Chain A
Amino acid sequence: MPDLSGFRFTATHEWVETVDGGARVGITDFAQAQLGDVIFLEMPEVGTTLKAGDRFGVIESVKAASDLFVPVGGRVAEVNGALADAPERVNTDPYGEGWILRLEDVDEAGASLLDEAAYTRLTT
């Protein structure tokens, strides 16, 4: 189990890790397990500005599709391009290589975030 002490979570099963004024965003291990094998991801364009809770994409597995919502607001600085060819990284390493977005100009207004303990209670 990776160290998730620096991560925060949403009730919709995304995570956010703030680093150096920016933030990385992905989906949780619980979410990837529920979805099953991920085969497609729709991601926003770099430069898009989002508010906390905005829908930013869609993730699709062999058996389900799900909207993705940003835990915090910000400007999309980077999307994980490696996922286009290797979407299974979301399954195999959801908190690492399976990250989805990197945000800059992070804005936590309106964000509703859970710490690891609270998220764990939600999903067990």
Chain B
Amino acid sequence: MLYTYSGLILFAPLLAFVIIIFGTRMGDLLSRPRVASSPAHGDSHGGADAHGSNSHAVDSHDAHGDDHGEHAQDDDDDPKVPSLSGWAKASAYVGIVIMALACIYSWVLLFSSLSDPSSLPTQGVDVFSYTWASFGSVNYTIAFHLDRLAITMLTVVTTVSLLVQIYSRGYMSNSAGYARFYSYLSLFAFSMLVIVFAQNFLVIFIGWELVGLSSYLLIGFWINKRAKPDEQRPSPASAQLQAFVTNRVGDVGFIIGIMILFTTFGTFDFSTLFRLAPTMDKTLLTIAMICIFCGAIGKSAQLPLHVWLPSAMEGPTPVSALIHAATMVAAGVYMVARTFPLFAAADPAALGVVAWVGGITAFFAATVALVQIDFKRVLAFSTISQLGYMFVGLGVADNAGAGMFHLFTHAFFKALLFLGAGSVIDALHHATHKETQDMRLMGGLASRMPITAITWLIATLAISGFPFLSGFYSKDNIIGMTLEKGDIALYVITLLTAGLTAFYMLRAYIQAFGGKDGKVLGLWGGTYRGAGKPHESPLTMTIPLMILALFAIFAGYWTGFFGYVTPGAPPLNIGTMLSSVDTWVGVVVAFIGLGWAWFLYTRVDAAKLHAAVENNGFLRAIHRFLFNRWYIDDLYNWIITYIVLGGIAFLAQLFDTYVIDGIVNGVAGLVNIFGRDLRRVETGKVQSYMIGFFGGVALLAVLVFVLIFTRG
């Protein structure tokens, strides 16, 4: 009963979206006072709420006209309102209340299935099924299904969504697009839940594209914001496009894989496919699964389709926390976990590809994160790296447990890292009236923003694999499994990456919150290198941080996760883990990373460090290489400019202009010529018509003569 009604969790955010978009947001837009536009500021904000708004000319003009006060010198191009209307606040309440209900229901489902395992059958229950179309023997159904794997993902998605929505009340509190933001957050929650509940490839693909859409809308939320090339920051408009298009590139592979399976078996349904997959030609199945994994590469920002995630940081930070850290990018991992029986039935090469793409990506992203100066970029590359770990976890195991466990713990501490970063950025924004994410302008914030600092530190230690925090259990489990499998290369890569992770995370922490002259060995407070006086964020932003910090500490202790997700799998044995050598090797590597970061950033003068790198040719070259993200972005730019645009598009344009337009214009020209020449038959002179007439008669006569007299 409890389980069959879980479809409500799925449809509730959709309801919230509809209510907000058609109800409260319309109320908000209509309630704004209509004033004439102020000519001094031109029309630069004219398109700010262009998404689906029919009165945007009104609200953006007046919204900008009102903010000549403290925000006049803001450079974030976000139209502000002096205070939120009741309708806008109602939008937030609708979103938050509905998400809270969904979250509570998810946790109830979790605890009920834990306390009474027999209430939920192993293969799950069908929640909703609608036959969309059927052609002959093929049925296209929209089917939603709940099982234990889905429940774990549900708790993550709804909890993080709820905390992000609560957080956004503070972060987006004076934005003109407040209601629109909440509508998009609800749309995203719905889309993600479509993926979580999906029972066949059709539904998962629909959800896939929907989350892509939500991500597009949310990244480009500040649609009028300009690019900042000197900080390597694109405009949100180009970032949203890059995200969507890169995702689509991955989807090509995804669709090919799905279609291979469909043409072999005639169904999209997971349970049918799981049953039938072993009967399929193994090579074909392996190719299909690798193609399906391409979709995950695009969605979860793995090498080579990772380029959109750092750009996606142009969206508001709650968006980064929700979508690009905890949930949407995890959709790829979830999809692989969901279709794990297919991967297992294929050649081990399929899972090998998964593991190696994950491992190489993890290493690559960690190296790039070492030298980034933008606070959110470090976290973006960190996300890419940790997603790599999740794929390694999926690739080296017999079941989806290890990867999903890391997804579970990662969601909490990464969301915490992002929300904490948002807290810092917001505080600095209020202090300096400039939107800055450059870590060189931060420093010593711990004494000014203690709650943010302590929760960020907890998350930093969690992600570094500090013993007894959640990341330690999930990450070291994965590293241990690579060793068990005997894959030494992957073991070395993941171990090295763990050390790098610890390094860059503590580096980011110290550069933001600590400093050379801070207390507690330079970890707490110190000189603040920026302008203004930042202070702690309001409770609406810090409470989610504290809640997530609790999860970051304790989520790792759910050792029964493995047995829960895959019935019959052994739980995480902490005792065995603590007594095995490789766990402690991992801890030592993490401490080396932490210690080296601590040393370089609290004991060494920043100017001397800078000079040391610049003067040494080798170090400078490495620094440039890593800072420019291994030049992959430049490579893609080059490919697109010269090969796609200059080459293929150019040839296509030639083809279009000369061949296709040639044919079309040629047909028209032909008609023209015919008309011009046929026209001359119409001379208007009776005599020429008579010629035609009698000529025809003569011809007919000949014809008759020939036909009649040769017949006889």
Q: Are A and B subunits of one complex?
A: no
* Residues in chain A within 8 A of chain B (CB atoms): none
* Residues in chain B within 8 A of chain A (CB atoms): none
